[in-house]
Amino acid sequence: MALGLPYNIASYSILTAMIAQCVGMIPYKFIHSSGDTHVYLNHWDEFKKQLKRKPHPLPKLFINPDITDLFEFNAGDIYIDEYNHHPSIKYDVSI
């Protein structure tokens, strides 16, 4: 959960916004359900530290409004502005 879930939430939220734009809709919420969410024992101390942090204000997502075909997006058509973050926490990769 600590390594993959934050990346998944961000990438699927961006994809949802891209699809919404292409079909002429405005995204409202990204709702995520997880069936096998777990924290590895060797991540526990770092995870507790992360849970104590207060969230920063949400960043702003910019998607080039001229793109209406999902397969026409390029990396430069999407960016995140006003992204503030806490110092990184190192998690070992569990195998």
Alpha-carbon gap, residue 18 to 78, rounded angstroms = 9
Model-wide pTM > 0.85: no
What digits encode the pLDDT tens for the residues 23-76?
999 999 889 888 888 888 999 999 999 999 999 999 999 999 999 999 999 999
DSSP conformation class of 59: P
**pLDDT for the residue 72:** 97
Q: With a cut of 90, say whether residue 5 has pLDDT above it.
A: no
